[in-house]
Amino acid sequence: DSGVTQTPKHLITATGQRVTLRCSPRSGDLSVYWYQQSLDQGLQFLIQYYNGEERAKGNILERFSAQQFPDLHSELNLSSLELGDSALYFCASSLASADTGELFFGEGSRLTVL
């Protein structure tokens, strides 16, 4: 158990809809990262937050947005969903925003868009 909690574990929705994925980082971790993993693909970095502020941005679509709240949990919002958005979405956390140190990953939220 990494200490990172993601909900929901599974989500099935239709094209055009909007969903919110939630992540609770490990206790004490200030940084939260979001990744997308399509079937048999690598991890695609989406965005990072540190202590409530956006720290780094990857290949995140404009239809997607995220935020980190004062209690440090984070939400990833996916809107105008397309079939290609079906993927595993992982959240990871770390203590700091430094360039070293491991990331602790949650078990992921599996999104299926029909």
Partner 1 sequence: GESVGLHLPTLSVQEGDNSIINCAYSNSASDYFIWYKQESGKGPQFIIDIRSNMDKRQGQRVTVLLNKTVKHLSLQIAATQPGDSAVYFCDRSRDMRFGAGTRLTVKP
One residue of 4, 19, 66, 81 binding partner 1 per CB under 8 A: 4
Is 77 in contact with 95 (CB distance < 8 Å)? no
Q: CB neighbours of 42 closer than 8 A, spacing ≥ 6?
A: none
Give first-to-last CA distance, the chain, whole Å. Answer: 31
Q: Build a one-symbol-per-residue string for 23-62: x at contacts with partner 1 by CB under 8 A, - elsewhere.
A: ----------x-x-----xxx-x--x-------x-x----
Q: Build a one-symbol-per-residue string for 55-94: x at contacts with partner 1 by CB under 8 A, - elsewhere.
A: -x-x-------------------------------x-x--
CA-CA distance, 40 to 38, in Å (whole number)?
A: 6
Q: What is the largest CA-CA distance in the chain?
A: 39
Residues that bind partner 1 (CB under 8 A): 2, 4, 33, 35, 41-43, 45, 48, 56, 58, 90, 92, 98-108
